[in-house]
């Protein structure tokens, strides 16, 4: 089995050593020992880091990503968690698409000023009411799951 020190893991994964140490502190990855002062990792850590990167790109928090690993570090991904994140992404796409469409309209609107454009005025009212502009973040999946099971 091949072991890599933290510098090699950082170089091969593109993840800075400081981030690797932080991930280890959070329990996302685990070193298997040390060679001198350098942490050693099993080669499987590269796959774990890839899963962490994918989770971060999808918008999962580190706490949510931690739930995607079994205690031995192997992936253990809850399908309902993936579906919930996909639903959240769909909501964000709809919100951002509406914002894009409104801005495009306002940019091309024949009204003399933006403030005279009915569509732009609707966007202003929606922003003032909190309906747009503020990205709402759902609680982590485990919190939502606990709420459902206790209610």
Distance CA 92, CA 143 (A): 20
End-to-end CA distance of the chain: 48
d(CA 18, CA 76): 25
- pLDDT digit string (tens) for 83-128? 999 999 999 999 899 888 888 988 898 999 888 888 888 888 888 8
Distance CA 31, CA 116 (A): 62
Sequence spans of domains, the chain: 3-66, 79-150
Residues 38-61 have pLDDT tens digits of 889 998 999 999 999 999 999 999
Rounded Cα distance, 28 and 73, in Å: 8
Q: Where in the chain does DSSP place strands (E)?
A: 3-5, 33-35, 38-42
At the top level of CATH, which class does the domain 3-66 belong to?
mainly alpha
Judge if pTM exceeds 0.85: no
């Amino acid at each position: 089995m091949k072991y890599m020190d933290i510098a090699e893991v950082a170089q091969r994964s593109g993840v800075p050593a400081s981030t690797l140490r932080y991930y280890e502190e959070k329990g996302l990855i685990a070193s298997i020992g040390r060679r001198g002062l350098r942490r050693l990792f099993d080669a499987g850590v590269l796959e774990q880091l890839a899963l962490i990167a994918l989770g971060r790109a999808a918008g999962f928090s580190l706490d949510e990503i931690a739930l995607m690993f079994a205690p031995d570090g192997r992936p253990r991904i809850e399908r309902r968690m993936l579906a919930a994140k996909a639903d959240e992404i769909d909501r964000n796409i709809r919100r951002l698409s509406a914002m894009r469409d409104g801005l495009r309209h306002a940019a091309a609107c024949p009204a003399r000023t933006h403030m005279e454009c009915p569509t732009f005025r609707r966007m202003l009212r929606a922003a003032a009411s909190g309906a747009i502009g503020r990205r709402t973040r759902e609680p982590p999946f485990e919190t939502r799951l606990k709420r459902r099971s206790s209610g």
